[in-house]
């Protein structure tokens, strides 16, 4: 072990550390540079130039209608609205006896503007078809009152008021143009029924039954049953009035006067049943009319009234001649 320790040399000692001394010399002071002021150059003054005057184009004198056009006299209801031809303004204020030029390709007219009238408060536009063939000399343009007219009449009926003649005419025109317009026909029948013209009310309701929608509508059937019931009551009242008149005439006036009135009543009654037979094509009314004419002929023969007896025979012959044709 001693020889081994002698062979191992110890490492040399480390060198001493180097000490760095900082430089204590003060840094030179740098002064801020003075700001440089730049004076703006004055702008050149621009004088306003007067606007160039634009001369309006000279008015174009209309020497005649456009080539290939035709003159159509147009009447607008209500007056004062604007008339448009295929979307282009044709008349600023369309009135009665106005004139517009229609080109060959024009098919529609429209009315736009304030059309708040007597029975069209909601309508703004209406189209009128021009036939493609044939000459058109006059065309009436009116507002389409389908919604406005029906609403207006319905509101009046709900309030217990009577529609005016203009409103009823509007409703009639609507029902004539639109076969499927069931609501308008029901309103029109209600108006006729309120006026007491049951024949017109029944005619309008029978027209509704020609369509599938009208046949299946319960209100149409109920209204028809009501009208027929009222008609039956009127017939009974007429018969009672006739009997009462006979009773009164039996004890008043001369015999000739009673006979004359009796023949007059029979003639009126027979004519009433005959008209019902023509309207309804019902065999029962034919039988009643024929029986009344026979009674009239018998009574006229008994009292010696040749003219009334001749009228009764002629009426019976006329009724019998049309029986087969009408019932077929």
CATH of the domain at 198: 1.25.40
pTM tops 0.75: no
Confidence category of residue 127, pLDDT binned at 50, 70, 90: very low
189 lies in the same domain as 159: yes
What's the chain's average pLDDT?
Answer: 65
Residue 268 and residue 209 in one domain: no
pLDDT at position 299 over 70? yes
Distance between terminal CA atoms of the chain?
Answer: 159
Q: Which of 26-30, 71-75, 140-144 holds the top average pLDDT?
A: 26-30
Instruction: Say if strands 108-112 and 98-102 run parallel, antiparallel, or are unpaired.
Output: unpaired
Phi, psi of 276 (to 5 degrees): -65, -35
Shared domain for 105 and 129, answered yes or no, is yes
91 and 132 within one domain? yes
147-155 average pLDDT score:
65
Residues 275, 217 within the same domain:
no
Q: Kindly state whether residue 28 falls inside one of the protein's structural domains.
A: no
Candidate ranges 132-146, 198-212, 250-264, 276-290; pick with highest mean pLDDT: 276-290
CA–CA dist 184, 116 (Å, integer): 21
Q: How far is residue 137's CA from residue 130's CA, in Å, rounded to a whole number?
A: 11
Strand partners, 128: 109
Does the pLDDT of residue 177 top 70, yes or no?
Answer: no
If pLDDT is split at 50, 70 and 90, which confidence band does 117 have? very low
Q: Which long-range contacts (CB under 8 A, 24 or more apart) does 145-151 make?
A: 145/119, 145/120, 145/170, 145/174, 146/174, 146/178, 146/181, 146/184, 147/122, 147/123, 148/119, 148/120, 148/121, 148/122, 148/123, 149/119, 149/120, 149/174, 149/184, 150/174, 150/183, 150/184, 150/187, 151/122
Last residue of some domain: 144, 172, 193?
A: 144
| Closest to 122 measured CA to CA, from 83, 88, 155, 165 | 155
Give the domain CATH number at 109.
2.60.40
Residues 6+ apart with CB under 8 A from 245: 261, 265
Q: Is residue 127 in a domain?
A: yes
Indicate if 218 and 171 belong to the same structural domain.
Answer: yes
| pLDDT of 124 above 80 | no
Residue 216: per-residue pLDDT? 73
Instruction: Lay out the sheet containing 98-102: strands in order across.
Output: 98-102, 70-77, 138-142
One domain, residues 77 and 120: yes
Contacts of 243 (CB under 8 A, 6+ apart): none
Examine residue 11 and state whether it is found in any structural domain, yes or no. Answer: no
In a domain, 35, yes or no: no
Please report the sign of the dihedral spanned by the C-alpha atoms of residue 248, residue 250, residue 255, residue 256.
Answer: positive
**Residue (of 172, 245, 231, 241) closest to 198 by Cα position:** 231
Measured CA to CA, the distance from residue 129 to residue 86 in angstroms comes to: 11
Say whether both 138 and 157 belong to one domain.
no
Residue 300 lies in a domain: yes
Confidence of residue 149 (pLDDT cuts 50, 70, 90): low
Say if 138 falls within a structural domain. Answer: yes
What total of structural domains would you count in the chain?
Answer: 3
Task: Write out the two tokens for 299.
Answer: 């009574």
Domain end marker among 88, 113, 144: 144
Which residues span the domain enclosing 220?
Answer: 150-224
Q: Is the predicted pLDDT of residue 323 greater than 60, yes or no?
A: yes
Examine the fold and report which residue of 111, 128, 144 is the final residue of a domain before the chain moves on: 144
Per-residue pLDDT, averaged over 143-165, amounts to: 66
Structural domain includes residue 184: yes
Place of tokens 């009577």: 162
Does residue 7 lie in a domain region? no
pLDDT at position 252 is: 59
């Amino acid at each position: 072990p001693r020889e081994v320790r002698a062979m191992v040399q110890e490492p040399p000692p480390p060198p001493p550390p180097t000490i760095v001394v900082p430089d204590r010399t003060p840094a030179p002071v740098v002064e801020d540079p003075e700001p440089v002021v730049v004076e703006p150059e004055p702008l050149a003054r621009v004088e306003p130039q007067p606007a160039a005057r634009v001369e309006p184009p000279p008015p174009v004198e209309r020497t005649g209608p456009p080539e290939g056009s035709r003159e159509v006299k147009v009447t607008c209801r209500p007056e004062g609205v604007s008339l448009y031809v295929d979307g282009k303004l044709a008349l600023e204020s369309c009135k009665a006896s106005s004139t517009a030029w229609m080109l060959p390709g024009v098919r529609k007219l429209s009315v736009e503007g304030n059309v708040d009238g007597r029975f069209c408060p909601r309508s703004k536009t209406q189209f009128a078809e021009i036939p493609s063939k044939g000459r058109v000399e006059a065309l009436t343009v009116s507002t389409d009152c389908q919604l406005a007219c029906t609403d207006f009449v319905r509101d009046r009926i709900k309030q217990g008021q009577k529609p005016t003649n203009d409103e009823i005419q509007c409703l009639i025109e609507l029902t004539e143009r639109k076969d499927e317009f069931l609501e308008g026909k029901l309103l029109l029948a209600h108006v006729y029924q309120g006026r007491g013209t049951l024949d017109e009310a029944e005619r309008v309701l029978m027209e509704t039954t020609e369509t599938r929608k009208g046949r299946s509508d319960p209100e149409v059937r109920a209204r028809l049953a009501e009208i027929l019931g009222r008609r039956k009551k009127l017939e009974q009242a007429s018969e009672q009035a006739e009997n009462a008149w006979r009773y009164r005439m039996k004890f008043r006036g001369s015999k000739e006067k009673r006979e004359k009135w009796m023949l007059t009543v029979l003639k009126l009654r027979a004519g009433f049943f005959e008209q019902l037979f023509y309207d309804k094509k019902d065999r029962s009314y034919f039988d009643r009319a024929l029986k009344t004419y026979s009674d009239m002929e018998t009574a006229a023969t008994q009292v010696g009234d040749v003219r009334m007896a001749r009228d009764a025979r002629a009426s019976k012959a006329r009724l019998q001649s049309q029986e087969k044709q009408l019932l077929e």
